[in-house]
Amino acid sequence: MRISVGSVVPSLFILAFLAGCPVAPAGAGDAAVPDALSGGGGEGGSAGASGAPGGKPLAYGCAANAECASGFCVDGVCCDSACDQQCASCGLPGRPGYCTGQIVGDDLAAAMPCTGAKTCSLDLTSPTIVSCRLKNAEACTSNAQCATNNCATFYVDEDNDGYGGSATLHLCAPVRGAAPKGYSTIGGDCCDVDSLTFPGQTAWEDYINACGSWDYNCDGTVETQSPTSGAMPPASYCGKTVFVNTKMGCH
């Protein structure tokens, strides 16, 4: 039995989503499901549709194909097909006995298991409906590769001030998910080795930062005295030229 998507997908998709019930998959990953899969004998044995099936109806518990009237024992229940496509299951809640697309979790019982770095998911960007894609924290280059449909950019935050510098990492992540330890979702840190220098910093320091700059708030402007109190660097900086040829004043 072929699992098709066809014109019923939109309504099935909505119903399944509301009920927490998966919808029919288009096939193994992004590939079509071959008709020949339906005669393949499932997981529990070799009796198959052409053998001498037992009498158990769909959804009844089983350990071998021969126990089922359908000839297919899949995921521990008598199934309406071999159901060995990637991200398809016959044991999902609400649909036992019927081969159904699996939109969450690993699929270990498939001709091409979906596990390890990947997991089953809804593919909102293509008509495939279900597909095997990268788990969270796996490196990615595009949203479509991720089970969450989100390939996030994280910025290396070396000084742990909440703002990352120019170095980035792209990982699959939940939408608006938190950054891994050592990273930030916000970039723009012009001195990522000084935790007192970051975008939006309002506290002015009377000493040059670890990058040799007086641009303490990363706005591209050098502040050689406090914009609020007018305080200036200590006398030890008097007359010295620091950062982009800015000669410090004396006081």
Of the residues 54, 140, 215, 224, which one makes contact with Ca ion according to CB under 5 A: 215
For CA atoms 68, 69, 72, 77, the dihedral sign is: negative
Residue 27, phi-psi category: left (phi > 0), alpha (psi -120 to 50), beta (remainder) = left
Backbone angles phi, psi at 198, to 5 degrees: -165, 165
Strand partners, 120: 132
Any alpha helices (H) in the chain, and if so which ranges? 9-19
- Of the pair 20, 247, the CB lying nearest Ca ion is at 247
Binding Ca ion (rule: CB under 5 A), the pick from 75, 84, 157, 194 is: 157
Task: Please identify, using beta-carbon distances, which residue of 60 and 243 lies nearer to Ca ion.
Answer: 243
Using CB under 5 A, which of the segments 22-30, 79-87, 173-181, 190-198 binds Ca ion?
190-198
150 binds Ca ion (CB under 5 A): no
Is 165:211 a contact under the CB 8 Å cutoff?
no
From 139-147, 182-190, 199-207, 243-251, give the range in contact with Ca ion by CB under 5 A.
182-190
Least distance (Å) from Ca ion to the CB of residue 180?
Answer: 14
Report, in Å, the least distance between residue 246 CB and Ca ion: 12
Give the distance, in angstroms, between the CA of residue 94 and the centroid of all CA atoms in the same chain. 26
Task: Rule CB under 5 A: choose which of 43, 80, 189, 194 binds Ca ion.
Answer: 189
Binding of Ca ion at residue 67 (CB under 5 A)?
no
> Which DSSP string corresponds to 87-124?
TEES--TT-TTS-EE--SS-B-SSSS-B-TTEEEEEET
**Residue 159 interacting with Ca ion (CB under 5 A):** yes
Q: Which residues bind Ca ion (CB under 5 A)?
A: 157, 159, 161, 163, 189, 192, 215, 217, 219, 221
